Structure 1
Amino acid sequence: MPWNNQSGGKGGGPWGGGDGPWGNNNGPNRPNPWGNNGPQRGQDPQGSPDLEELLRRSQDKLKRVFPKKGGGGGSGGSGGPSLGGIGGRGIALALVAVGILYGLTGFYRVGPGELGVELVLGRYQGTTQPGLNYNWPYPFGEVYTPDVLRIREVNIGSRGEGRGGDVPEESLMLTGDENIVDVDFKVQWRISDPANFLFNIEDPEGTVKQVAESAMREVVGRRNIQPILTQERQQVEQDVQTLMQATLNDYGAGVQVSQVQMQKVDPPLEVIDAFRDVQAARADQERFQNEADAYANEVVPQARGQAAQIVEAANAYRDQVVAEATGQADRFLSVFEEYRKAPDVTRQRMYLETMERVLAGTDKVIIDQTSAGSSGVVPYLPLDRLDRAQTQPTAQGAR
């Protein structure tokens, strides 16, 4: 300090030699304002300690706490080893240790099924895989680790089991034929892009729920109530899932819709009884129609089979008659050709063949008018009778 009391053996203070403005030696041309009988050193005019004395005492206390490097002089100095160098090195080592510990806080762990999203000064830097990773420590860096494999579920139209009943403002929807249908369904989804999921939408679950309700209302509004209640439920689920995914992609939500499942599809509670009667009547109508179709499918093929059989028999008879007539005509033409070549021979042959056919099955008696006998009967041996006579005893013996 400028008023150090160890400056060249002179008195301390800003006025050079002496002990301050109230000392006996006040420097050149500076008379003591109180004269030689003024207050003593260390005392003000009222007898209290002076300012210089207080400052010197404070300086001595600081020197005892922080000694100067290399040992020191000064009043009361002991000339022993200095601790200034050791204190400086300790502070430096402490600062280095603190810096290392601070840097180690940047390590973080990403669990299985999670992805790490790194931020530096609030700006997205990249995505890290499961395991041990490093990013700038807080407050410069920040890391989010969303679970990207967990399947999340949102219920629309109801609050699920144990969480209340139906929610009419969500479940009642208007169909394309201006009917009202009560639809409860759930949506299963997961995170596909963690960065978009964290920073593009504020309320992911609420957004998915609102998009699902809007998509279901649009799909239901394009259909009549009857197909929605019966055969088109699966198609409705697929259409809702497709529309939801397209909308969420437009939002950049980073969400993948896994499944849309309709839990309950009924008319409003006030008309459900009448609607069930209509459904029962339609079911009976379909049943009767199916029974009639089954009977028709049984009778019609039989009738067609019988008709085909009759047609085939008629065609066979026609072909037989035509073939026989053609054969007889060909035979007649062949005989006629032979007749033209030898009329007498052909006539005699035709006569004999005709008589053979006529007399083949009758008993015959041959009479020769030119014979000398009285009767003219020609005796002959009927071989066919001999064959019958031999056959009859054999048959009787077998009996």
Structure 2
Amino acid sequence: MPDMDQLGDRFKKFQNLNFGGGGAKWVVIVAVLLWLASGIYLVQPDEVGVVKRFGAFDRITSPGPHYHLPFPIESAMTPKVTEIRRLEIGFRSGTQEAGLFTAGRGVSNPRSVPSESLMLTGDENIVNVQFIVQYQIREPVDFLFNIDRQSETVKSAAEAAMREVVGKNTIDAVLTTEKQAVQQSTRELLQDVLDSYNAGIRVVAVQLQDVYPPDEVIESFKDVASAREDRMRFINEADAYRNDLIPRARGQAAAVINEAQAYKESKVLRSQGDSARFASILDEYQKARDITRKRLYIETMEEVLSNPEMEKIILPDQTASRTLPYLPLPGSAPRAPREAGK
């Protein structure tokens, strides 16, 4: 870049020249000044300046105003290094230039591009794959000087990477379970390809926009997908029924076991108590048989007669000897207890 002294010397030389008239002289001076002023350029905050001297890279400048020698000596380019660029492959959602789409442009209904979207899977099926590539300039010098028609190069490399990844997967995997893996593998493969070109590009993301079988067989694939959904629904319902039934059955089994254990313990304890009671009664019976026998009779009658549901008829001894014995038959109407003579 020339300093101010050099520019002053050039201006004085032009002043000393005789152009055959004052008017022509000033025209030349203005033209030279305009030519020199054409080297002023401004780099925006989201850009970097790349200056070329005689077509070869010379230097990089930071955001702000700068000066380069006028054309054809030097020229400057200002690529946007923070911008996320977007490529649509297999479809077009708006007006694009070589597949490049920016957010400020209008978007219409997506239009399929079969020459880009039709791909062959690993099980020899054809599938339509529409996807988006987002990338960013990582090294502006490599981006500008190592590859030509940058967006077309990225588009071709992305299409080739996606075809390779899809060709390693079955159609069912691409349509259903392996979409995330396909995106990740394609992004990594695309980055490796661009790095081998020294393209100076960082692949931000690869996103599958739509994946579907060809129109000729799409109805059959819908039936298969519907059957697969029904299968998963039946499996989920069966799992829910199992998860509800098994804990309930375990709870019922535990309740039965606890009841049986309690019944066992109660029977054992009652048997032990009855055994001890019988042994104590036997001891008393051996000591006083008549008294013990009478006491047992009284206790038994007390237990029997204390039942409120039992029908009772009380007769004096004299009346009982002259009364026909009473035998209550099943189905006879119950009668309230009464005393003789009433």
TM-score by length of structure 2 reads 0.65
1:140 aligns with 2:86: no
What corresponds to 2:41 in structure 1? 108
The RMSD of aligned alpha carbons is 3.9
Structure 1 alignment gaps of length 5 or more: 1-86, 364-399
Q: How does 1:312-391 map to 2 (within 5 A)?
A: 312-324=258-270, 348=287, 359-360=298-299, 362=301
What corresponds to 1:91 in structure 2? 16
The equivalent position to 1:307 in structure 2, one of 253, 273, 286, is 253
Q: 1:255 Cα deviation (Å)?
A: 1.5
1:130 aligns with 2:63: yes
SS of 1:155's equivalent in the other structure is strand
Cα distance change of structure 1 residues 220 and 88 upon mapping to structure 2, 3 Å threshold: closer
Q: 1:246 Cα deviation (Å)?
A: 2.6
| Residues 345-385 of structure 1, C-alpha deviations (whole Å, 9 max, x = no match) | 9953999788656533536xxxxxxxxxxxxxxxxxxxxxx
Cα distance change of structure 1 residues 141 and 265 upon mapping to structure 2, 3 Å threshold: same
| Residues 176-218 of structure 1, C-alpha deviations (whole Å, 9 max, x = no match) | 2222111111212222221111011112111111111112112
The equivalent position to 2:120 in structure 1, one of 150, 171, 174, is 174
CA distance in structure 2 between the partners assigned to 1:113 and 1:346 by the alignment: 114
CA distance in structure 1 between the partners assigned to 2:72 and 2:87 by the alignment: 35
Q: Identity of counterpart residues, as a percentage? A: 41
Match for 1:289: what amino acid?
Answer: I
The answer to whether the Cα contact below 8 Å between 2:14 and 2:29 also exists between their aligned partners in 1 is no
The answer to which structure has the higher strand fraction is: 2
Cα distance change of structure 1 residues 326 and 100 upon mapping to structure 2, 3 Å threshold: farther
CA distance in structure 2 between the partners assigned to 1:107 and 1:319 by the alignment: 104
CA distance in structure 1 between the partners assigned to 2:13 and 2:240 by the alignment: 105
Q: Of the two structures, which has the highest relative contact order with CA contacts closer than 8 Å and spacing of 6 or more?
A: 2
Q: 1:267 Cα deviation (Å)?
A: 0.9
CA distance in structure 2 between the partners assigned to 1:203 and 1:162 by the alignment: 18
Q: 1:228 Cα deviation (Å)?
A: 1.7
Range that drifts further, 162-171 or 122-131: 162-171
CA distance in structure 2 between the partners assigned to 1:356 and 1:243 by the alignment: 103
| Residues 75-123 of structure 1, C-alpha deviations (whole Å, 9 max, x = no match) | xxxxxxxxxxxx999418x999998876655432102311111234544
What corresponds to 1:234 in structure 2? 180
Structure 2 alignment gaps of length 5 or more: 1-11, 18-24, 97-109, 303-342
The answer to whether the Cα contact below 8 Å between 2:48 and 2:62 also exists between their aligned partners in 1 is yes
Match for 1:348: what amino acid?
Answer: K
What corresponds to 1:283 in structure 2? 229
The equivalent position to 1:188 in structure 2, one of 134, 145, 148, is 134
Larger radius of gyration: 1
CA distance in structure 2 between the partners assigned to 1:351 and 1:91 by the alignment: 164
Cα distance change of structure 1 residues 251 and 319 upon mapping to structure 2, 3 Å threshold: farther
The equivalent position to 1:149 in structure 2, one of 66, 82, 96, is 82
Cα distance change of structure 1 residues 351 and 305 upon mapping to structure 2, 3 Å threshold: farther
Cα distance change of structure 1 residues 152 and 90 upon mapping to structure 2, 3 Å threshold: closer
Cα distance change of structure 1 residues 88 and 258 upon mapping to structure 2, 3 Å threshold: closer
Q: 1:298 Cα deviation (Å)?
A: 2.7
Cα distance change of structure 1 residues 210 and 326 upon mapping to structure 2, 3 Å threshold: farther
TM-score by length of structure 1 reads 0.56
